[in-house]
Amino acid sequence: MPAAPATALHDLPAAPLCVGYSGGLDSTVLLHLLASSRPAHGLRAIHVHHGLHADADRWSTHCEAACAALGVELTVIRVKVAATGAGPEAAARDARHAAFASALGSDEVLALAHHRDDQAETFLLRALRASSPDGLAAMRRWRTFGRGRLWRPLLDIDRDALLAYAQAHGLAWIEDPSNADTAFDRNFLRTRVMPLLRERWPHASDALARSAALCERTDALLDDEDALALANVGLSDPRCLSRMGLLALPESRRARVLRRWIDALGLPALPANGIERIEHEILGARDDAEPVFQWHGAVVRAWRDLLFADVARAPLPADWHAEWDGRAPLALPDGDVLALDGTAGFDTPLRVHARQGGERLMRAGRSHSHALKQVLQELGIPPWERERLPLLSDGAGELLAAGDLVHSARFDAWLRGRGARLVWRREGETHAATARDGN
């Protein structure tokens, strides 16, 4: 049976608290509960202004007044909701969670007001998407989030109990008219499906939420073994796994390991058919096939024994080039940076450019030049690294370096003579090529 709101804070943390405050019924009750349970200086709130409704400014004003009355500091964060293939609900949620994560302090706890009916709806939505037990576990009461933790203290409380609490305490809240729009999946479940289920089975919400809790327990039992399996197939670059190692795992374990890996990388959750597509299109592909699977701005690729996942990034434009004297870091068009450390700069400016094909390089200790393509293949540089590889050439067109991966004999001697180092810094990632030495 659902609990009373007064029991919701049984695990109230001692850490600083931040409430995600929309101004709706649920977050209004949560804010009031927390403000009544600890000094206001240990509590703050964040309101995310999505700008999706004509009354969004008025809602922000309401939240400011409500927080001021409780003596709670409020931060209003304006976001832009970018259209994605996942739909408007998911896009708004992603923008909101990104705002929360960026604003959350170190070791701070973000309290969100999801309740028992929300949990039942989430369980049904994920069941309809053929989710595995970890997905059917739906929303956890506690999990890591940003630089701190996320806490959902109302998961055992149903909406009727929250409404009764708000009315008993004379609270005022916002009614978002979009909550009645059944074009959104969750609203359709809430307004059309759940009332029918409760008409036949009055405790349907409780039963579905209980099933989610049982799936969470099952998932917890499997979690330690998943972590061990992921460690066994992992390589030195966390974005890379061994394909052979994965294929040696039982199929059911492999699916869990892949989901855990994607989650650990902070990438969008795989779509319902994501595991199936990775299994059939990526893992079993030929070593030289270079298959790719993309979803919601993320990508999984395979090459040789590597399975690679990251944010999808554009290659360096083929017609791009720049003159560079090495005195300051050079920003590349794809967000990467090329820098020269340990010396004031080059004697004469050099040319930085994208690969065109057919480049050759004279390496130290070699009697003749080699095709750059062959050198990169021998070094085990994956194709996705080569697409973004900045080349450094002198005025006569002689190739001196391919990023910081390989240098010509002449350029290597120049660097050594000055104690200098050429550094190719990738945007938001570590050196993918190091995976060849090794979710």
Per-residue pLDDT, 430: 39
Strand pairing class (298-303; 142-145): unpaired
- 3-class DSSP state for residue 427? coil
Closest CA to 346 of 396, 393, 404, 388: 393
What pLDDT score does 39 carry? 67
pLDDT digits (tens, 9 = 90+) for 371-382: 999 999 888 888
- Whether residue 104 is annotated as binding a ligand: the answer is no
Does pLDDT of 66 surpass 60?
yes
The dihedral region occupied by 29, where left means phi > 0, alpha psi between -120 and 50, and beta the remainder, is alpha
**Residue 334, SS3 per DSSP:** coil
pLDDT at 201 over 90: yes
Q: Closest by alpha carbon to 322, among 350, 352, 349, 346?
A: 352
| 127 confidence band (pLDDT: 50, 70, 90) | very high
Structure tokens at 252: 């059911």
First-to-final CA distance of the chain:
38
Q: Annotation-wise, does 27 bind a ligand?
A: yes
CB 115 within 8 A of CB 208: no
Q: Are β-strands 406-407 and 399-402 bridged in parallel, bridged antiparallel, or unpaired?
A: antiparallel
pLDDT at residue 280, rounded to an integer: 92
Q: Which residues contact 106 (CB under 8 A, 6 or more apart)?
A: 147, 148
Q: What architecture is the 234-311 domain classified under in CATH?
A: Up-down Bundle (1.20)
Q: Is 0.75 surpassed by the pTM of this model?
A: no
Q: What is the pLDDT of residues 10-41, one digit of tens each?
A: 999 989 999 999 999 999 999 999 999 876 56
With 80 as the cut, is the pLDDT of residue 3 above it? no
14 compared with 86, residue with greater pLDDT? 14
Give percent of the chain above pLDDT 70. 95
Tell me the mean pLDDT in the region 284-312. Answer: 90
- Asked whether residue 417 is marked as a ligand-binding residue, the answer is no
pLDDT score recorded for residue 296:
87
Residue 382 CB neighbour total at 10 angstroms: 21
Angle, nearest 10°, between helix axes 116-128 and 204-233? 60
Confidence tier at 178 by pLDDT (50, 70, 90): confident
Q: What pLDDT, on a 0 to 100 scale, did the predictor assign at position 219? A: 83
45 Cβ partners below 8 Å, 6+ apart? Answer: 18, 19, 20, 21, 31, 63, 67, 72, 73, 74, 75
Residue 393 has pLDDT above 60, yes or no: yes
% pLDDT > 90, the chain:
64
5-211 CATH: 3.40.50.620
Q: Is 252 part of any known ligand binding site?
A: no
Q: Residue 423 pLDDT more than 80?
A: yes
Task: Check residue 18 and give its pLDDT.
Answer: 95
Mean of per-residue pLDDT scores for the chain: 89
Between residues 335 and 153, the one the model is more confident about: 153
309, burial (CB in 10 Å: exposed 0-12, middle 13-18, buried 19+): buried
Q: pLDDT of 318-340, one tens digit each?
A: 899 999 999 999 999 988 999 99
Q: What is the mean pLDDT of residues 96-112?
A: 92
DSSP state of 396: T
Write the CB contacts of 316 (distance below 8 Å, at least 6 apart in sequence). Answer: 332, 333, 334, 354, 355, 387, 388, 389, 390
Q: Is 283 annotated as a binding residue?
A: no
pLDDT for 2 equals 62
pLDDT (average), residues 176-191: 89
Cα–Cα distance for residue pair 118/194, rounded to 1 Å:
11
Answer whether residue 95 shows pLDDT above 80.
Answer: yes
User: For residue 82, is pLDDT > 90?
Assistant: no
User: Which pLDDT score is estimated for 166?
Assistant: 96
- Listing DSSP states for 190-234 in one string gives IIIIHHHHHHH-TTHHHHHHHHHHHHHHHHHHHHHHHHHHHHHHB
Say what the pLDDT of residue 433 is.
35
272 or 401, higher pLDDT: 401
Query: What per-residue confidence (pLDDT) applies to 428?
Result: 59
| Sequence ranges of the chain with CATH classification 1.20.59.20 | 234-311
CA distance 398 to 392: 9
Q: Which two tokens stand for residue 112?
A: 């969100």
397 is in an annotated binding site: no
E strands, 296-402, are 298-303, 306-311, 321-324, 330-331, 337-341, 350-353, 360-361, 370-371, 391-393, 399-402
Cβ-Cβ contacts under 8 Å for 271 (sequence gap 6 or more): 295, 296
Query: In terms of Cα–Cα distance, which of 301, 278, 329, 271 is closest to 386?
Result: 301
Question: CA 397, CA 336: separation in Å to the nearest integer?
Answer: 23
Residues of the chain with CATH 3.40.50.620: 5-211
Q: Minimum mean pLDDT among 128-142, 195-209, 255-269: which range?
A: 128-142
The SS3 call for residue 242 is: strand
Q: Which helix (H) or strand (E) holds 56?
A: helix 56-70
